[in-house]
Amino acid sequence: MTSALSPQIAFMTLTLFPVRLLLVLAAMLLAWPLALLATLGSAEREPAPSPALWEKVVDFLLRAIMRTMWFAGGFHWVVVKGRQALPSEAAILTLAPHSSYFDAIVVTMTMSSIVMKAESRNIPIWGTLIKYIRPVFVSRSDQDSRRKTVEEIRRRAQSNGKWPQIMIFPEGTCTNRTCLITFKPGAFIPGVPVQPVVLRYPNKLDTITWTWQGPGALKILWLTLCQFHNRVEIEFLPVYSPSEEEKKDPALFAGNVRRVMAEALGVSVTDYTYDDCQLALAGGQLRLPSDTCLLEFARLVRGLGLKPETLEKDLDRYSDSARMQRGGRMGLPELAAHLGVPASDTLRDMLALFDENGDGTLDPRECVIALSVVCRPARTLDTIRLAFKMYGSQDGSIGEDALSSILKTALGVAELSVTDLFRAIDQEEMGRITFADFRRFAEAVPDFAEDYLYPDQPRPDSCPAPVPNGFCADFSPESSGAGRRPVREKLD
């Protein structure tokens, strides 16, 4: 992106960039004492029914300063379409797609509350500005934080307009705006009307997108401030009032609002989530190839209501139960009892992923390995250790066939040759290897997967057409049809 424009970027870096950066910092410093004045006492107390005159003046000045800051940063014109609803009409604003920290433009223009990490309040200057908009703080150290956050959102949403509107980015992460990923249910649990807000950056050169795979935050800031003009469009869609069915089912409510927003944007939707992206891009030694079935497996796990943080605690119990089967196979009722969930179409689809024989059964050890990968995608050796416990003989060793089953399941692929890898580990030619042998080899050859499992193929974390948000074309279905998705079996 920068190589083709290097002369212009170099010129702007020496001329426009430092001026803009100083102006932006000056605006923040100017806004800080006003925000500090407005937040004296407790910024978390319930707002007064009618703000005092000085509060109205401070709010006007802060909005003006923030708009000046964005203007200094190159956002000269902000096109606003539609009408922002009153807090009494829609207590929650849902904004998508979320693709950059520049999305804060909408927050400063509306002065809506947002959901933020509790640690943000301690950031010098910025923390004071954040507290002014009365955010809902989330604490990572508090195990009940999620429940408390949902309760606080519900309390504010049901206050009949007393609190400022809450702006929520339901995708929960930044994407590259080519599709809308699954919305998280937090904004929809209260069951109150919401106003969808869509965001567009119709710029010839995209320096805005900030995602987990692509330019870093500072580079994005540098490139954007080097652009002479940056365009942004904000469209407030009509308020969406949930039906009685949607009030009872936040996931249904979220999905329907997402469809409305996708139609307004002219983009598709995908059933994948941020967790799926993390799984696909995990930094372990066994990175998932593009044809893995584990992304589908992860979706089915969510459909069963099983949460990774809970599953991880139960992995040892699952593995002990699977080891007791001694290679025996499970049908649908046994799998349901094994996982502690009711038999359902979703569970049947999960079983089909591992049904190599086509007889409606699976090897429970494969299911446990897949669960381990989903729960801790970057911890390759923890998954392999668990697999050796289930497949190993009395001395803990396994043969080549067992290693093949383990690695095919861990990668979610149908075919995989492990002969070269097994021989490299089995240097004494015993025909058996232990986990200690595997660990020593993995530590000595950290790129063993690329070197031994698919040496003549592209690295499994590469995409035919990489995109900034980490979604490969293979990981992002163009659309999400109605009804159940077709199941791709592991050995298809």
Asked if residues 168 and 92 have their Cβ atoms less than 8 Å apart, the reply is: yes
Q: How confident is the model at residue 90 (pLDDT cuts 50, 70, 90)?
A: very high
Q: Among 83-92, 190-199, 333-342, 462-471, whose mean pLDDT is lowest?
A: 462-471
Which pLDDT score, from 0 to 100, does residue 84 have?
95
Least confident stretch, 36-45, 231-240, 327-336: 36-45
How far apart are the C-alpha atoms of 330 and 333, rounded to whole Å? 8
pLDDT at 486 over 50: no
The residue-averaged pLDDT of 297-315 equals 83
Using the predicted structure, report yes or no on whether residue 63 has a pLDDT greater than 80. Answer: yes
The pLDDT assigned to 468 comes to 31
For position 89, what pLDDT does the model report? 93
| Confidence category of residue 460, pLDDT binned at 50, 70, 90 | very low
pLDDT of residue 480: 34
Give pLDDT, residue 476.
30
Looking at the DSSP bridge assignments, the partners of residue 141 are none
Whole-number pLDDT of residue 304 = 87
Residue with the larger pLDDT of the pair 217 and 57: 57
Q: Is the pLDDT score of 127 beyond 90?
A: no
The residue among 410 and 308 whose pLDDT is bigger is 410
pLDDT at 447 over 50: yes
Q: What mean pLDDT, rounded, does the chain reach? A: 83
Q: Please state, in angstroms and rounded to a whole number, the distance separating the CA atoms of residues 160 and 247.
A: 17
Name the residue type at position 275. Answer: D
- pLDDT > 70 fraction of the chain, expressed in percent and rounded: 86
Cα dist from 119 to 33, 34, 126, 257, 304, whole Å: 20, 21, 11, 31, 33
Average the pLDDT over 327-334 and give the result.
89
Task: Find the mean pLDDT for residues 296-314.
Answer: 83
CA distances in angstroms from 283 to 172, 377, 379, listed in the order given: 21, 8, 8
Q: Of 82-96, 137-151, 326-340, 458-472, which range is least confident?
A: 458-472
pLDDT higher than threshold 90 for residue 231: yes
Q: Is the pLDDT of residue 85 over 90?
A: yes
Q: Is the pLDDT of residue 450 over 60?
A: yes
Please write the tens of the pLDDT for every residue from 13-47.
Answer: 889 999 999 999 999 999 999 999 888 866 566 77
Per-residue pLDDT at 235 exceeds 70: yes
The pLDDT of residue 229 is 93
| pLDDT tens digits, 157-215 | 888 888 889 999 998 878 888 889 889 888 999 999 999 999 999 998 888 888 756 67
Instruction: Supply the pLDDT for residue 222.
Output: 92
- Which pLDDT does position 466 carry in this prediction? 32
| Band of pLDDT at residue 313, cut at 50, 70 and 90 | confident
Higher pLDDT, 354 or 309: 354
Lowest mean pLDDT among 76-90, 419-433, 469-483: 469-483
pLDDT for residue 273 is more than 50: yes
Binning pLDDT at 50, 70 and 90, where does residue 485 land? very low
Per DSSP, the three-state class of 96 is: strand
C-alpha span between 450 and 469 (Å, rounded):
24
Range 438-446 average pLDDT = 90
pLDDT at position 5: 54
pLDDT for the residue numbered 143: 67
**Coil, strand, or helix at residue 463?**
coil
CA pair distance 198, 176, nearest whole angstrom: 14
The pLDDT of residue 174 is 82
Q: Is the pLDDT of residue 434 over 90?
A: yes
Nearest to 253 by CA among 181, 166, 304, 192: 192
Run of H or E residues at 136: strand 136-138
Q: Rounded to an integer, what distance in angstroms lies between the CA atom of residue 422 and that of residue 420?
A: 6
Q: What is the pTM of this model?
A: 0.70
Confidence of residue 277 (pLDDT cuts 50, 70, 90): low
Task: Kindly give, in sequence order, each residue whose CB lies less than 8 Å from that of residue 40, ignoring residues fewer than 6 positions away.
Answer: none
Instruction: Indicate if the pLDDT at residue 474 is higher than 70.
Output: no
Cα separation, 80 vs 87, in Å, equals 18
Q: What is the pLDDT of residue 7?
A: 83
- pLDDT for position 242: 95
Angle, vertex CA 202, rays to CA 212 and CA 241, nearest 5: 80
The full 3-state SS of 26-95, as one line of letters, equals HHHHHHHHHHHHHCCCCCCCCCCCCCCHHHHHHHHHHHHHHHHHHHHCCCCCEEEECCCCCCCCCCEEEE
Stretch 66-74: mean pLDDT: 95
Distance CA 240, CA 257 (A): 7
Cis bond upstream, residue 18 (ω within 30): no
